[in-house]
Structure 1
Amino acid sequence: MTKVKPWCWQVAANGNGPDWLLLAHVTPDSVAALKQELVNTSLDGYSQCADTPYTLMDSTNADAYLGNLTGKDPRNIWVYNLVEIQGDLIKIESGYGGRGDVNNQVETDFLLHLFALPNITLQSWQVLAGGEGYDYVVSAAGTDTGSFRAYLSPD
């Protein structure tokens, strides 16, 4: 398989942030297939923290995140990677740039896997950076899998 750039390559290269987001919408007729795909999905280095929305947190922060969700042990998590899927929206979030290249590649591979499935059609995507007092700005965007793959293509 050809090596691709991670989904957040441009915001990292430009020093944007501190937080990075990828928002991807699939077509409404893809939602059932996406939901079915998640039944047996796991990502290396991530723990599932919720079913609705389907939420994966990097394993380093999973216990703290669950403590926040339940209110039992609330605390701030600054550096993290989160994957959240609800309905037609796939959101990947990296707080303060996330936990690094390994997590970024796992997320990118997951997205490419989803968008290669025949019953899942990517409708739009955008990569944003901002947070901590900075407005979120769109760094890259597109309307289909082809534009997403082109964005990830090595130089």
Structure 2
Amino acid sequence: MTKVKPWCWQVAANGNGPDWLLLAYVTSDSVAALAQTLVNTTLDGYSLCADSPYTLMDSANADAYLGNLTGNDPRNIWVYNLVEIQGDLIKIESGYGGRGSVNSQVETDFLLHLFALPNITLQSWQVLAGGEGYDYVVSAAGADAGSFMAYLSPD
């Protein structure tokens, strides 16, 4: 496999943030295939926190996140990586830049796997940065898997 940049390379390089976000939408005819793919999909270093929507939190924060979801032990989580898929939306969020390059690469590999499947078609994507009082700004965006791959391509 060709080495690619992580999905958040540009916001990291520019020092944008504090939070990083990737929003990717698949076509409506891809939703069922995406849901089926997720049935047997896990990510190294992540824990499944909810099946619907499909929600994965980095394992270091999974218990705290579950405490927030259930209301049993609510607390703020500042530095985290979250992957959430609901319907046609794939959302990856890195609070305060996330937990590091290993997590970013796992997320990027996951996206590349999904977008390489013949029955899942990427319709649009965007990488944003903001939060904590800063407006979210779009750092990069595109309309298909080809533009996403071009964005990830090494210089």
- Give the alignment's TM-score, normalised by structure 2: 1.00
Partner deviation per Cα, 1:19-67 (whole Å, 9 max, x = no partner): 0000000000000000000000000000000011110000000000000
Structure 1 segment 78-93 matched on structure 2, within 5 A: 78-93=78-93
Q: Secondary structure at the match of 2:65?
A: helix
Paired residue for 1:53? Answer: 53
Gaps of 5+ in 2: none
Please give the alpha-carbon distance, in whole angstroms, between the structure 2 residues aligned to 1:145 and 1:54. Answer: 21
Gaps of 5+ in 1: none
- Give the alignment's TM-score, normalised by structure 1: 1.00
User: What is the identity percentage for the equivalent residue pairs of Structure 1 and Structure 2?
Assistant: 91
Paired residue for 1:38? Answer: 38
Paired residue for 1:69? Answer: 69
Please give the alpha-carbon distance, in whole angstroms, between the structure 1 residues aligned to 2:53 and 2:18. Answer: 24
Please give the alpha-carbon distance, in whole angstroms, between the structure 2 residues aligned to 1:70 and 1:123. Answer: 33
Q: Secondary structure at the match of 2:76?
A: coil
Deviating 4+ runs (over 4 angstroms): none
CA displacement at 1:70 relative to structure 2: 0.3
> How many positions carry a matched residue from both structures?
155
Please give the alpha-carbon distance, in whole angstroms, between the structure 1 residues aligned to 2:5 and 2:100. Answer: 13
CA displacement at 1:90 relative to structure 2: 0.1
Over the aligned positions, Cα root-mean-square deviation in angstroms equals 0.2
Please give the alpha-carbon distance, in whole angstroms, between the structure 1 residues aligned to 2:72 and 2:27. Answer: 37
Q: Secondary structure at the match of 2:125?
A: strand
Partner deviation per Cα, 1:65-89 (whole Å, 9 max, x = no partner): 0000000000000000000000000
CA displacement at 1:2 relative to structure 2: 0.8
